[in-house]
Amino acid sequence: MMDIEFENQLRSIAAEMEYPPTPDIAGRFTARIKSTFRPRLFPRKLAWSLTVMLVLLSSLLLIPPARAAIIEFIQIGIVRIFPQPVEDVAPDIQKPSTATPNAELPSLIPLLNKISGETTLAGAQRTASYPLLLPTHPEGIGVPDHVYVQESEGEITVLAWMDSQQPGRVEMSLHFIPAGHWAINKMGPTVIEETEVKGHRALWTQGSYPLIMSNGTIDFIRLIEGHVLIWTNGDITYRLETDLSVEEAVMVAESLEPIR
């Protein structure tokens, strides 16, 4: 009986007591989370900045002088070609297909007697670590008159056909350059045109311009005054120097066959 009376008294007292207001802890915590993790505008601004930069770069590439400054060189195989400044190029130089043989062009390989490594075709076959090829076009071209192998950090083979009408003048030369330590730079040819040799990307260039061959130890510089077709197949870079038109040069390149 006493317990029931005591319980009733506690309930009566509790009903008359005033409790302080309960703090809004959950609301404050939620507000703090929202302020801390509020989305930032920086990523969106950054995206817009990158978009503007890409648009400007694309616009620059449409301007020839700017494109020439951005694209410093063109590379195919081990050959790097540094184009002439656009303002120095004649308006009609991009028409190599109409080029005709020029009898006044100087020898494509001047001073043959000063080039080291002259050998026979059989000797070059034994030395080279890659198969040597001979053209069957133009008809009756036959074997080269001179064969050279430059043995220094990789064997460069040069086949040269002489002009029967002008003794001492090279009519055509074919270079086999394996991938490795050698690098070739062509400085400012007046014509650079893309073409293909049996489906492989090729470049057609016209001189005059200096050609620099180097392997870190040897630098060999000579002036190119003719036309050059450059292409690759596997690890070999091929250079065909001639005064033929680009169409004829491609026909020569596509006629190459292993030596039988």
60 and 163 co-located in one domain = no
Confidence check: pLDDT of 190 > 60: no
- Which residues, 6 or more positions from 56, have their beta carbon under 8 angstroms from its beta carbon? none
58 and 77 co-located in one domain = no
The pLDDT, as a whole number, for residue 108 is 42
Q: Which of 71, 87, 105 is the last residue of a domain?
A: 71
The amino acid at 181 = H
Q: Verify cis geometry, omega within 30 degrees of 0, for the bond prior to 138.
A: yes
DSSP 3-state of 237: strand
Q: What percent of the chain has pLDDT over 70?
A: 42
Mean pLDDT, rounded, for 20-24 = 63
60 and 97 co-located in one domain = no
**Separation between Cα atoms, residue 252 and residue 236, nearest integer Å:** 17
Least confident of 199-208, 240-249, 251-260: 199-208
176 and 253 co-located in one domain = yes
154 and 241 co-located in one domain = yes
Task: Give yes or no for a contact between 255 and 238, defined as CB atoms under 8 angstroms apart.
Answer: no
63 and 106 co-located in one domain = no
Q: Please, which pLDDT band fits residue 22 given cuts at 50, 70 and 90? A: low
The pLDDT, as a whole number, for residue 153 is 61
Q: Please, which pLDDT band fits residue 115 given cuts at 50, 70 and 90? A: low
The amino acid at 154 = G
The pLDDT, as a whole number, for residue 51 is 62
Q: Which of 45, 71, 97 is the last residue of a domain?
A: 71
Structure letter (DSSP) for residue 186:
E
82 and 67 co-located in one domain = no
Confidence check: pLDDT of 98 > 50: no
The pLDDT, as a whole number, for residue 241 is 86
Mean pLDDT of the chain: 68
Q: Is the pTM of this model over 0.85?
A: no
Q: Please, which pLDDT band fits residue 104 given cuts at 50, 70 and 90? A: very low
Structural domain count, the chain: 2
The pLDDT, as a whole number, for residue 248 is 96
Mean pLDDT, rounded, for 159-173 = 85
**Separation between Cα atoms, residue 238 and residue 201, nearest integer Å:** 12
Q: Please, which pLDDT band fits residue 246 given cuts at 50, 70 and 90? A: very high
Greater pLDDT, 100 or 253: 253
151 and 43 co-located in one domain = no
Q: How many residues does the chain have?
A: 260
Sign of CA dihedral 235, 135, 205, 164: positive
Task: Give yes or no for a contact between 214 and 182, defined as CB atoms under 8 angstroms apart.
Answer: yes
Task: Give yes or no for a contact between 160 and 192, defined as CB atoms under 8 angstroms apart.
Answer: no
153 and 113 co-located in one domain = yes
172 and 183 co-located in one domain = yes
Q: Which of 49, 71, 93 is the last residue of a domain?
A: 71
The pLDDT, as a whole number, for residue 121 is 96
Question: Using one digit for the tens of pLDDT, what is the confidence trace for 51-81?
Answer: 655 555 555 445 454 444 444 656 555 566 5
Domain of residue 173: give its range: 73-258
